Amino acid sequence: MLQFNAQEMTKIKSKASADIIQQLIDDNQVVLSSDTLVPPDARATWNLYYFCPDHSVRLDWQRDKSTEHCCPVDGKVFTGEPYDGAWWRGLNGLNAKACNELGLLWHLTGEDHYFDKVREILLGYATYYPDYEEHGGIPYNGPGKANAQTLCEANCNLDFARGYDFIRDGLNSEDRTYIETRLLCEGAEFLMQHRSDQLHNHEMKISATVGIIGLIVNKPDYIEFALNSNYGLIYQLEHGVNQDGLWFEGSIHYHYYALQALLAFEKIAHHTAYSVKLQPNYHKMLAFPLQLISATGDFPRLNDCIAGQEKLNHTHIFEFGYQQFNDPLFAQALSTIYQDTPRNNIEALLYGVDQLPASEPIACHAIHAPLSGLTILHNEASQNMMLLKHSPYGGEHDHYDRLGVILCRQGKEIIPDLGTTGYGAEMHYGYYKNTVTHNTLAMNQKNQPPANPTTVNFKKTDSFTYISTQVDWSQSIQELDSHTIVQWDDEAYKAVTFRRSILWLTAEDSLNNVAIEINQISNPHQQQLDLSWHIRGYLDPTQQEAEFKPVTTPFDGPLQRMTDCHVHQLTQVTPYRFTIAEQADFNMHLFSQQECEVLTGQAPDNPATSDLSYLMLRSQSPLFNAVAVHDLSTCVPLQNVAISWEKDKLHIELTRNEIKATFCIDIAKDEVIKNI
């Protein structure tokens, strides 16, 4: 066995608790208690089709219901495609996982029926695998054989290989040859043929799987391809990671997904001359996203992030990472993970140190990372936080939301990033992955083209932090070395510039719970601009100071599904009050230098089992300047908000509890020139 030597396996067996062994049995009970089922042909498609089209939640996969697929929200049963094919993809994943975990269980218990099940599964796939027909059609993805995309092929073959490594020494030579030639090498050759020449998390996983198979079956050409070829693991590390250590795709989930692939290879290669431990971006990738923990305690749902993927639960990364680097930050990550759950899992058993040091959990803190284009403004006492996204375009898994914001009050998202749902569900492309469903600027309700924002100014004082960023769609950007599909509208954003500045108050007084947002838009072709926020609460149009009037749906595209739409004309500073579950009301104040419409309505949250409220400024002015004051107090709301915009001077006066603060911002110089 290559994964662990005899001494390591002896130690693992001595540490394995009865709970761990029972967990492995329970997690694989459906495979153990069922006849081995392997698809005889290429009927498996894509696991991300296995989502309810109404609620955008994953369907309830059941081993004994290959043609009935139930929504966990309302119990509705779906039949036929794409659900049947996705069910078979789920089965392939279940079988592959069982090979790895039952192979380990055989070593821990010595019970031969675990060995027999792994052998039976591997021989079953080896029987059919060479004759599986290539099939695919998944956006952004190459084809598969057992599955419908190259990435899924890599995921399954990785676990087949690890399971084979666990039981190889117990197999006769005929079985070893059959499995190696007809499944593992056949799979590696297919993956090598279909790995794309691009920077991408997929290529990381594909290369890692090829390398693991090469290590296990002693194929140096596989290892060379995986590690050192163009777009192999080393190339991806050197070209796909910025100087901060953030993966170029800009999604924290896909950052760790790419890293997970690298660690899967390293967990075997660290015994060999092929270890990647000394690659400098390896450690940086482990560390950097831990600086981006939100006030909620989770990662922000930036870009493609399905509900649940924002959780810091990466034992498979940080148990091994801490063992390799002894970095206190990784011990903190583990301390955070184990706040509410015991350290009694497979990753800790296989790769963890015997005793973790006492460490404080990782908490949200302010960070300005202009290379990564992420700035977090944070008040530790109140757990208020604002994140401004000014990141460079990241390709397939990016969202079209340059200069988008997230706002938390007392550790709860008030203005969230919704992330997305399963990519095969209609609401992924139809709703979540669109500019208008983010807290940013949309022109003609179309998606923003790729752009790389610039940081104009950043200043931090004892009483405030000020950041100003700008995106200019008249500036071309270097083509990304990653395959993309055009899902944006260049004409809608022609010659448009958008500057968003945030004044975050930090003085220790009753006015510190305020974020002031200044938006400047140049719209030379006078197209329809919509500046949007969605608030996780309810705005009752009949209970506002503004005189809202009902309006038929004023949107096309993703927001056609909006209900309860109302409109009024904004002519002065106007407050808006939102009812927030389990918190005090949330108040926003809007001002625009030019007369505009304010639109509101209800549209889906994520998951789509509930709605949130949209608030939107609409104008066709060639120059549009607007201010949003976010009142984050849960006690006494602001009693007065006065705003005036005179030429290049913006004056803002705020009053709470008879305490008054006045700010003057020089728009031409883009800086706070006075605050009292």
pLDDT tens for residues 305-326?
Answer: 998 999 999 999 999 999 999 9
Number of residues assigned to the chain: 676
Question: Which pLDDT tens digit goes with each residue over 68-101?
Answer: 999 999 999 999 999 999 999 999 999 999 999 9
Given 135, 163, 194, the domain boundary residue is: 194
In angstroms, the CA 345 to CA 338 distance is 11
Determine the average pLDDT of the residues in 288-295: 98
Determine the average pLDDT of the residues in 168-192: 98
Determine the average pLDDT of the residues in 582-588: 95
Question: Which pLDDT tens digit goes with each residue over 384-431?
Answer: 999 999 999 999 999 999 999 999 999 999 999 999 999 999 999 999
Q: By percentage, how much of the chain surpasses pLDDT 90?
A: 94
pLDDT at 202: 97
8 Å CB contact between 569 and 597: yes
Is it the case that residue 512 has pLDDT exceeding 90?
no
pLDDT at 516: 97
Determine the average pLDDT of the residues in 592-614: 96
8 Å CB contact between 21 and 28: no
Residue of higher predicted confidence among 555 and 105:
105
Q: List 409's β-bridge partners, or say none.
A: 412
In angstroms, the CA 637 to CA 503 distance is 18
- CATH number of the domain where residue 129 is located: 1.50.10.100
Evaluate whether residue 629 is within a structural domain.
yes
Evaluate whether residue 247 is within a structural domain.
no
Q: Which pair of structure tokens corresponds to residue 512?
A: 């510190």
Given 144, 174, 194, the domain boundary residue is: 194
pLDDT at 674: 81
Confidence of residue 348 (pLDDT cuts 50, 70, 90): very high
β-sheet with 384-389: strand ranges across: 367-369, 374-379, 384-389, 404-409, 412-415
Confidence of residue 510 (pLDDT cuts 50, 70, 90): low
Evaluate whether residue 266 is within a structural domain.
no
Is it the case that residue 509 has pLDDT exceeding 80?
no
Determine the average pLDDT of the residues in 578-589: 96
SS3 200: coil
Evaluate whether residue 610 is within a structural domain.
yes
In angstroms, the CA 507 to CA 460 distance is 12
Residue 7 sits in which domain range? 1-51+88-194
- CATH number of the domain where residue 592 is located: 2.70.98.70
Evaluate whether residue 242 is within a structural domain.
no
Report the number of distinct structural domains present in the chain: 2
Is it the case that residue 508 has pLDDT exceeding 70?
no
8 Å CB contact between 210 and 226: yes
Q: What is the pLDDT of the chain when averaged over all its residues?
A: 96
Is it the case that residue 507 has pLDDT exceeding 80?
no
Judge if the upstream peptide bond of residue 541 is cis by omega within 30 degrees of 0.
Answer: no
8 Å CB contact between 622 and 523: yes
Question: Which pLDDT tens digit goes with each residue over 423-436?
Answer: 999 999 999 999 99
SS3 148: coil
Question: Which pLDDT tens digit goes with each residue over 517-573?
Answer: 999 999 999 999 999 999 999 999 999 999 999 998 888 899 999 999 999 999 999
Closest CA to 435 of 424, 448, 444, 417: 448
8 Å CB contact between 506 and 547: no
In angstroms, the CA 61 to CA 91 distance is 9
pTM of the model: 0.95
Evaluate whether residue 215 is within a structural domain.
no
Question: Which pLDDT tens digit goes with each residue over 115-138?
Answer: 999 999 999 999 999 999 999 999
**Which CA distances in Å does 483 have to 74, 238, 335, 488?**
38, 18, 38, 15
pLDDT at 675: 75
pLDDT at 549: 97
In angstroms, the CA 524 to CA 366 distance is 36
pLDDT at 520: 98
**Which CA distances in Å does 21 have to 16, 35, 115, 167, 264?**
7, 22, 15, 17, 22
Evaluate whether residue 66 is within a structural domain.
no
8 Å CB contact between 322 and 350: no
Given 159, 194, 229, the domain boundary residue is: 194
In angstroms, the CA 4 to CA 1 distance is 6
Evaluate whether residue 220 is within a structural domain.
no
